[in-house]
Amino acid sequence: MAESTNPDPGAKAPAFIPLEANPQLMTELIHKLGVGPSLAMHDVYSLTEPDLLAFIPRPALALLLVFPVSAAYESHRMAEDSITEAYTGKGEQEPVLWWKQTIRNACGMMGLLHAVCNGAARDFIEPDTTLDKLINESTPLDPVQRARLLEATPALASAHKEAASQGDTTAPDAQDDIDLHYVCFAKGSDGALWELDGRRTGPIRRGELGQDEDVLSERGLALGALKFLEREGGDLRFSAVALAGAMD
């Protein structure tokens, strides 16, 4: 069985400045790393009100949910991970590309990587960019080797530091303990909704999506982000950003 205790990187692990859930900064970051200008990150003001969801260009290629790492969430995570074998997948046949998080406070970057490197979003990555090279180098590697590759990619750390230092709020220190976490929901090459989180034992297939359904469709939300809201009850410290077409 997989290890179900604290999955966070230790105190001696490399650390990033926590990334603010700011769509403008995130858009600049993914463009700098290699995503073409036709995609952007967008604020999601509601996961339940159709009128507010209508502001987001469709299809939405990925959804990043920022949520508190509560006792209820950790109990749920440990229960699932304790009966799940640690992921060992690699190669071109994978429906999603997943990285284990071994860098402290890097969950924002991990979420963005999982968002832009999977499903239809991958088609918007420009050749010979940081992301293009990262996908090509990561694909044949196992999860342990992939994590080491992220740690040894200076362009990733440099771009992240620049973005994280420019938020609307004062950036925390890289060594601070942060109780908010990012998880990504994306549609894989198999047409399913996948939960992608570097704190888990691997990528999690949450269910089938129809050809015309995306991560913000009624079924996509029911299988993914709304599960978090149901579990946490009254905690309102949730925010969300979506990857979709640029409006400019």
Q: What is the pLDDT of residues 131-157, one digit of tens each?
A: 999 999 999 999 999 999 999 999 999
Q: HSE-up of 200 (CA within 13 Å, CB side)?
A: 24
Question: Does residue 184 have an active-site annotation?
Answer: no
- The whole-angstrom separation of Cα 240 and Cα 161 is 21
C-alpha separations of 210 from 50, 117, 218 in Å: 19, 21, 11
Question: Does residue 107 have an active-site annotation?
Answer: yes
The model carries a pTM of 0.90
Question: What is the arithmetic mean of pLDDT over 22-41?
Answer: 97
- Domain ranges in the chain are 23-206+213-245
Q: Are 178 and 105 in contact (CB under 8 A)?
A: yes
Tell me which of 107, 114, 117, 160 is the catalytic residue: 107
Element of type H or E holding 146 = helix 143-151
Tell me which of 42, 114, 160, 181 is the catalytic residue: 181
Element of type H or E holding 230 = helix 225-232
Topology (CATH) of 23-206+213-245: Ubiquitin C-terminal Hydrolase UCH-l3 (3.40.532)
Total residues found in the chain within this entry: 248
Q: What is the pLDDT of residues 72-87, one digit of tens each?
A: 788 888 999 999 999 9
Positive or negative torsion for Cα 46, 96, 207, 86? negative
- The whole-angstrom separation of Cα 165 and Cα 208 is 38
Q: Which of 45-54, 124-133, 178-187 holds the top average pLDDT?
A: 124-133
